[in-house]
Amino acid sequence: MIEKAVNVGPARLEIAYERLGDPDATPVLLIMGMGAQLIAWPDGFCDELVRRGLYIIRFDNRDAGESTHMTGAPDMPAALAGNFASVSYTLSDMAADTVGLLDVLGLPSAHLVGASLGGFVAQTVAIEHPQRVRSLTSIMSTTGDRTVGQPHPEAMGVFAGPPPVTRDQIVQRSVEIARAMGSPGYPPDPEVVAERARRAFDRAFDPLGMMRQAAASLASGDRTPRLRALDVPALVIHGDSDKLVDISGGRATAAAIPNAELVVVEGMAHDLPKALWSTIAGKIAEVVARGDARRH
């Protein structure tokens, strides 16, 4: 059941979230990527985590899904060139939203799992609010250092042409993206992709929201020096076939965080294939256990 938290964080936003599992169990907060909604965490994957005795909270970031959407159109060419005057918020603000949701839920701390841009946010929470983070899992993500983790040229070709605006166009583009950038070792089911795209469109369609999130990432810079100062059990998962965030980003993340465990998944790209749900959930449960062991 989707719930709404109001007056979340310093920005006093409304955040849509869903809780799964036993509220008395170990809390794990799932943070999704750029433009993606809480439903991008597959139900079956969440079930795998719940079966491992974890209490799961997944939520819509600001500018996604049913959470508060901001206003304004960032000047992306300017932001890419280092001029952030049009950027309305940063990853620090998104991290504050995340901590604000923990406050509303009455959770002093939680284990964080972030995918893609969600990994940027999770890393930022660990850097800026370390007392709130029991463990950190960064999936198909990077450090903010623009010399690593960059998309492959062929991946960007999928986004060429007029942007989709109708429900059918969005669904078609989503299937095309999945076909081009899905895991070669675990090809995505086009109908599953299409149905998730339909659900996402019906919940919210805000292309400028995704641009604002992208601009926030650009404006937040390289986290590498601050990642080196972390003292938290950390897991970095990256597919060796990821064309959207090159595996160099995952390797750099693991190299920066002291004692981080790097898991390179053969045949995995920038998605969460069903065949890997159990494996990935198992690795997350392991780092969660390490994080909880440090608290006792």
- 13-28 residue pLDDT tens: 999 999 999 999 999 9
Task: Say if CB 134 and CB 108 are below 8 A apart.
Answer: no
What is the domain count for the chain? 1
* Length of the chain (residues): 296
124, 93 Cβ separation under 8 angstroms: no
Q: What pLDDT, in 10s, does the model give residues 84-115?
A: 999 999 999 999 999 999 999 999 999 999 99
pLDDT, tens digit (0-9, with 9 covering 90-100), for 40-49: 999 999 999 9
Give the E-state strand segments of the chain in sequence order.
2-8, 13-20, 26-31, 54-59, 110-115, 133-139, 234-239, 261-265
* Domain membership flag for residue 263: yes
| Domain assignment of residue 197, yes or no | no
Report if residue 287 sits inside a domain: yes
Instruction: Strands of 101-233 (E only): list them.
Output: 110-115, 133-139
Tell whether 245 is covered by a domain. Answer: yes
**Backbone torsions φ then ψ of 46, nearest 5 degrees:** -60, -40
Is the Cβ–Cβ distance between 220 and 90 less than 8 Å? yes
Cα 96 from Cα 125, distance rounded (Å): 7
At 108, is the secondary structure helix, strand, or coil? coil
**Amino acid found at 54:** L
CATH of the domain at 228: 3.40.50.1820
Q: What are phi and psi of 73, to 5 degrees?
A: -115, 115
**Is the residue at 290 inside a domain?**
yes
The model's pLDDT over 173-219, given as tens digits with 9 standing for 90+, comes to: 999 999 888 999 999 999 999 999 999 999 999 999 999 999 999 99
Pairs from 171-175 (Cβ < 8 Å, separation ≥ 24): 171/197, 171/198, 171/201
**Over 70: is that where the pLDDT of 296 sits?**
no
pTM of the model: 0.97
Residue 100's identity, in one-letter code, is: G
Confidence at residue 156, expressed as pLDDT on a 0 to 100 scale: 79
**Residue 233 scores a pLDDT above 80:** yes
On whether the CB atoms of residues 116 and 250 are closer than 8 A, the answer is no
Does residue 119 sit within a domain?
A: yes
> Could you identify the residue written with the tokens 């850097």?
127
Q: How many helices, marked H, and strands, marked E, lie in the chain?
A: 11, 8
Q: Is 96 among the domain residues?
A: yes
pLDDT tens for each residue of 267-291: 999 999 999 999 999 999 999 999 9
- Find out whether 176 and 158 touch, Cβ atoms under 8 Å: yes
What residues does 16 pair with on adjacent strands? Answer: 4
Cα(268)–Cα(183) distance, integer angstroms: 5
Write out the residue range of the structural domain in which residue 251 sits. Answer: 2-152+206-294
At residue 154, the pLDDT reads 80
- The answer to whether residue 229 is domain-embedded is yes
